[in-house]
Amino acid sequence: MSPYLTSATQRAASGVSSARLPWAGLLALAMAGFICILTETLPAGLLPQIGGGLGVSEAAAGQLVTSYAIGSLLAAIPLTTATRGWRRRPLLLLCIIGFLVFNSVTALSSIYMLTLVARFLAGVSAGVLWGMTAGYARRMVPDILKGKAMAVAMVGTPLALALGVPAGTFLGVLIGWRSVFAIMSLLAALLIAWVLWKMPDFSGQAADKRLPLRQVIILPGVRPVLIVVLAWVLSHNILYTYIAPYLAQAGLARRVDLMLLNFGVTSVAGIWIIGLLIDRMQRLLVLISLAGFALASLLLGTSSQPVVIYLAVSVWGLTFGGAATLLQTAIADAAGENADTAQSMLVTVWNLAIGGGGIIGAILLETLGVRSFPWALFLLLLLALLVVWRAQEYGFPYTSSREGMRNL
């Protein structure tokens, strides 16, 4: 039997039924994702405070975000590959313990280099966590609920961006940035207890089922999904990273916080919609999401009216909120028993796209100006749409392997 299928005995033992989702376990994964994203992004809103506390410039404090991203990027593929045979719950606990320890070091350290190392190691924990989350969530449910399970497990990401980061920034200014990282450690400690109490455990992948990395990447459907990940996330991050200068040229410099809140709220709505429909119409949802984002980029490129920009950002958030769920589900379906290894590739490409968005956005900003952003987005999204359209058999198939029904 495949290690990614749950036997009747295991389902009974973990309280999973074919009629409903195992909320306790899935929400534990969502909370792990929430802690992961908040740990990554929190310094961005507190650079003056962190720089002052560590005696460094704001630019140097900004490298705490970079260090975390590098840790995730470097760790995702090798460590996920190396731990494929480990039992799932102990590995999850090890990742959460990493957040507990390294956020505690960040909260207590007054030495910049030590803090930088702690952030790097927290990123390593994140790389392993993201590599295993999708497979873990899918193993807790029968086939017909795998998409919904993924949507629940991924909900921590938009919630962290929409609510966690603004709240963390507010608290950091109010009670100090070290206290916020201490709160993050407390959340990790509570999550460890939750996982020990409620989380089902699963065996790792059997040795004879593990394909080498080079064979996983040539599985039908894996490469089309990775290309779409790169184009979609790159387009998102070009705009998201430089949203402030874009809004400034439209006369909305004082509305950046409101615009980001708008994006966050609509992102949460987007992942909720995806969760409801993904098990029935995954391919169609990917096409609609990419087309909607492309439409939003056209609106941003052709109008500077505030009402149009608010509308475009709402569409952007609505269509990007479920991107992680759609793409992780697609690559897990394509990779089958080697889903965790494929997920680690997705994490790596995702982080490359985040970094690439910052670099390409900076080049565009300095050469063509901020008005070029929407058109760069539009071209990338057209590429993604073309890849999805052509990947009709593998990657983004017409026919769902779970239900055998036509999606488009």
pLDDT tens figures, 320-341? 988 988 998 899 888 888 877 8
Nearest in space to 300 (alpha carbons), one of 375, 204, 389: 375
Query: In 3-state terms, what secondary structure has residue 20?
Result: strand
User: Would you state the pLDDT for residue 207?
Assistant: 65
DSSP bridge partners of 399 = 406
- For the chain, the structural domain boundaries read 18-200, 213-390
Determine contact, residues 225/122, Cβ cutoff 8 Å.
no
Domains 18-200 and 213-390 share a fold: yes
* Lowest-confidence segment of 9-23, 246-260, 286-300, 340-354 by average pLDDT: 9-23
User: Would you state the pLDDT for residue 1?
Assistant: 31
Between 312 and 155, residue with greater pLDDT: 312
Cβ-count burial of 174 within 10 angstroms (0-12 exposed, 13-18 middle, 19+ buried)?
exposed
Cβ count near 281 (within 10 Å): 19
Between 400 and 13, residue with greater pLDDT: 400
Q: Which CATH architecture has domain 18-200?
A: Up-down Bundle (1.20)
pLDDT surpasses 50 at 243: yes
Cβ count near 58 (within 10 Å): 12
pLDDT surpasses 50 at 408: no
Determine contact, residues 51/116, Cβ cutoff 8 Å.
no
| Backbone phi and psi for residue 11, each to the nearest 5 degrees, phi listed first | -65, -40
Q: How far is CA 370 from CA 249, 354, 382, in A?
A: 8, 18, 20
Between 134 and 87, residue with greater pLDDT: 87
pLDDT surpasses 80 at 7: no
Burial pattern 123-149, b for ≥16 Cβ within 10 A else e, equals: bbbbbbbbbbbbbbbbbbbbeebbbbb
| Tens digits of residue pLDDT in 113-129 | 999 999 999 999 999 99
The pLDDT-based confidence of 6 (bands split at 50, 70, 90) is very low
The pLDDT-based confidence of 57 (bands split at 50, 70, 90) is confident
Determine contact, residues 388/286, Cβ cutoff 8 Å.
yes
Looking at 83-207, list the stretches that DSSP marks H as alpha helix, in order from N- to C-terminal side: 88-108, 112-139, 146-154, 156-159, 165-175, 177-198
**Which CATH code, of 1.10.10.10, 2.20.25.10, 1.20.1250.20, 3.40.50.720, is assigned to 213-390?**
1.20.1250.20
Query: Is pTM, for the whole model, over 0.85?
Result: no
Determine contact, residues 163/34, Cβ cutoff 8 Å.
no
User: Would you state the pLDDT for residue 138?
Assistant: 83
CA–CA dist 198, 393 (Å, integer): 38
Determine contact, residues 267/317, Cβ cutoff 8 Å.
yes
User: Would you state the pLDDT for residue 377?
Assistant: 96
The pLDDT-based confidence of 209 (bands split at 50, 70, 90) is low
* Over residues 313-322, mean pLDDT: 93
pLDDT surpasses 50 at 154: yes
pLDDT surpasses 70 at 4: no
* Lowest-confidence segment of 45-49, 164-168, 197-201, 220-224 by average pLDDT: 164-168
Query: In 3-state terms, what secondary structure has residue 40?
Result: helix
| Tens digits of residue pLDDT in 292-302 | 999 999 999 99
Question: 58-82 and 112-139 helices cross at what angle (nearest 10)?
Answer: 40
DSSP bridge partners of 20 = 17
User: Would you state the pLDDT for residue 405?
Assistant: 40
* Over residues 260-275, mean pLDDT: 86
* Lowest-confidence segment of 179-183, 223-227, 263-267 by average pLDDT: 263-267
Average pLDDT of the chain is 85
Q: Hey, what are 202's tokens? A: 């699963």
> To the nearest whole percent, how much of the chain has pLDDT over 90?
40
pLDDT surpasses 90 at 65: no
